[in-house]
Amino acid sequence: MPELPEVETLARDLQRLVRGAEFEAVTLYWPRSLAMPAPDELKQGLPGRHVLDVSRRGKFVQLRLSGPSYLLIHLRMSGHLQVESNTDPLSPYARAVFALTDGRRLVFSDPRKFGRIYWLTQPDLVLGALGPEPLADDLSLETFRSLLAVRKGALKPLLLNQALLAGLGNIYTDEALYRAGLHPLRKANSLAAEETARLYAAIRSVLQQAIDNRGTTLADARYRDAEGQPGHNRDNLLVYRHAGEPCARCGTPIERTVVGGRGTHFCPHCQR
């Protein structure tokens, strides 16, 4: 499933591929993929607008358009964004197709139909609830510490909370906790200073490494970049979907449990 590194890769691809492009028409094959506005408003309002730039905030792809207005796309579980020629065969899972005036199209496909598209003039309406970016220069260790210090809950659900920190999903949360040597059920406000520092460093290095590898593509969660290519970060996953296999550090079998309703992988020896 696309998390921060996959969305970052996608946004960089789209910045290179569609910056400056102009929308010609929009076709919705699954109108509920459009969270806002009403379908007719998008179909009438988008043609003629240009893509000024593409960026990422949390797990949202953000296209800043002329006007100005903003097209925000959240891929959720199974969403894809690809740029292709309008003569290519269309994916059977295409939910929204943005035809460009240059003969290409931006296709949002999404087998599970969980992804959502927003078109609005005030992006903070959607993005305003997000916490800080984990990789931002101004997210200091001290800021991170203050986020956790006042929280009573377990680390795993907290790190998945986008209002606390924006961009972590199930894969990189498990990987970061493993690298930091912290149990997913540890209470956030119980961390020693050194443990907080380890977690802070682990989150940032896990995410940066995944970006460097253009994201994680698993066998069934078929993440692809804007040109249809998989990422190659899979070999860097040490616990996620490794249940029963020996821990890379100590050899103890990796366990899988459910925390907060989500599959959680950890080493019972290295993570207390």
Question: Which residues carry out catalysis?
Answer: 2-3, 59, 262
If binding is defined by CB under 7 A, does position 233 make contact with DNA? no
For residue 136, CA distances in Å to 14, 164, 169 come to 21, 14, 17
Binding residue for DNA (CB under 7 A) from 145, 151, 198, 204?
Answer: 151
CB of 263 to DNA, least distance (A): 3
In angstroms, give the least distance from the CB of 73 to DNA.
12
Q: Single out the residue of 40, 152, 194, 235 in contact with DNA (rule: CB under 7 A).
A: 152
How many CA atoms within 13 Å lie on the side-chain side of 247?
19
Which residues are 266's β-sheet partners? Answer: 255
Cβ nearer to DNA, comparing 213 with 257:
257
Interface mask (CB under 7 A) for DNA, residues 71-110, using x and -? ---x-xx---------------------------------
**3-state DSSP assignment of residue 94:** strand
Among 49, 56, 57, 59, binds DNA (CB under 7 A): 59
Binding part of the chain for DNA, among 14-22, 81-89, 224-232, 259-267 by CB under 7 A, reads: 259-267
Residue nearer to DNA on the CB measure, 17 or 28:
28
Binds DNA (CB under 7 A): choice among 36, 90, 120, 154? 154
Helices then strands, each counted (H, E), the chain: 7, 11
To 5 degrees, how large is the angle CA 56–CA 59–CA 65? Answer: 40
The alpha helices in the chain, defined as continuous H runs, are 4-18, 39-45, 124-127, 141-149, 155-160, 170-180, 193-212
Count, residues near DNA per rule CB under 7 A: 31
- CB atoms under 10 Å from CB of 246, counted, come to 12
Q: How many CA atoms lie within 13 A of 23 on its CB side?
A: 26
Q: Does 127 contact DNA by CB under 7 A? A: no
- Residue 239 in contact with residue 268, Cβ under 8 Å? no
Q: Which two tokens stand for residue 178?
A: 């493993």
Among the listed residues 63, 142, 76, 140, the one whose alpha carbon sits nearest the alpha carbon of residue 109: 76
The verdict on 162 binding DNA (CB under 7 A) reads yes
Residue 160 near DNA by CB under 7 A: yes
Q: Draw the binding track, 17-36, toward DNA (x: CB under 7 A; -: no contact).
A: ---------------x----
Strand duo 34-36 + 116-120: pairing: parallel
**Least Å from the CB of residue 48 to DNA:** 30
* Binding interface with DNA (CB under 7 A): 1, 32, 58-59, 74, 76-77, 111-114, 129, 150-154, 157, 160, 162, 169-171, 188, 219-220, 258, 260-263
